[in-house]
Structure 1
Amino acid sequence: MIEQDSFHRMTTELEHLLAQKHGLTSGLFETRLRKALRRAPRKVRAAAERFVQVSVQMGNPKLMRLMDPAVLEADFQLLRAHFRAIDVADRRKGLVLGVLGSVGFSLLAVAALLIIFLVWKGYL
């Protein structure tokens, strides 16, 4: 049987990691978790779905007795490890470099088309 206090501690820690690593602070916990794990591996998404299912079942005392605490703890450990492995600064750098790369490629393509046009018209 899972204790309410330990489950609340797990949920609070995951909420803190969601806010810290993804900036998700408002809305339902289930929605924020689903949004944060869109691009996560299948194993992590499955653990998140089981964790959300347990959070829904925690309101019913009879269903609470049927849950396996070892599986819940393993899912929590997997989610916590996944969120702790995220490097926020590296994600920002990757985003900036991706935008700069696409802008640079676009400028090169426009310059090449301009040169081709000028050669075609006989100005170069």
Structure 2
Amino acid sequence: MIDRKQFDARREALEKQLHEKLGLRGKTLSARLRRAGRLLPKRLRAEGRYLVDAERKLSHPRLATQVDEVRVGKAFESIEAHLKAIDPADRRRGRLIHWLAGLVFNLLILAAIVLVALRWQGVI
């Protein structure tokens, strides 16, 4: 059977990593994983759902025996390994670059429309 204190310590560490690496907020692990959505791969979302279900079962003495300790450990390890590979600074830089690329594209479209309008009016 899983030690509840050890599970809670790993859960808190995972919640901290989700906040630091992905910027996810929420009071519980389930809230943070729900907010993660497509930021996590499909397999890791399933592992997260298993952890949330295991947490719910561990709160009840009879249901706690149904939780597989090995699978819980693998779920924690796989999510933590994925989060370790994420660089928050690189994510911020990527978002800024995508935002600037969209802005430049819109300005090019605006310039093209202005040039077409000026050509149509005979100014150019």
TM range (shorter): over 0.9
1:42-53 correspondence runs (5 A): 42-53=42-53
Q: Counterpart in 2 of 1:108?
A: 108
- Identity over the aligned pairs, expressed in percent? 33
> What is the one-letter code of the residue matched to 1:84?
K
Q: How many Å separate the matches in 2 of 1:70 and 1:13?
A: 18
Q: Does 1:89 align with 2:89?
A: yes
Counterpart contact for 2:58–2:67, Cα < 8 Å = no
Count of paired positions: 124
Q: What 5-or-longer segments of structure 1 have no aligned partner?
A: none
Q: How many Å separate the matches in 2 of 1:99 and 1:93?
A: 10
Q: CA deviation at 1:34?
A: 1.8
Deviations 1:99-118 (A, max 9, x none): 10011011111111111111
Greater Cα offset, 50-59 or 37-46 = 37-46
Q: Does 1:65 align with 2:65?
A: yes
SS at match of 2:86: coil
- Runs of 4+ aligned residues of structure 1 deviating over 4 Å after TM superposition are none
Q: Counterpart in 2 of 1:14?
A: 14
SS at match of 2:40: coil
Q: Counterpart in 2 of 1:4?
A: 4
Q: CA deviation at 1:26?
A: 4.2
Counterpart contact for 2:33–2:45, Cα < 8 Å = no
Superposed CA RMSD in Å reads 1.3
Q: How many Å separate the matches in 2 of 1:26 and 1:122?
A: 59
Greater Cα offset, 103-112 or 34-43 = 34-43
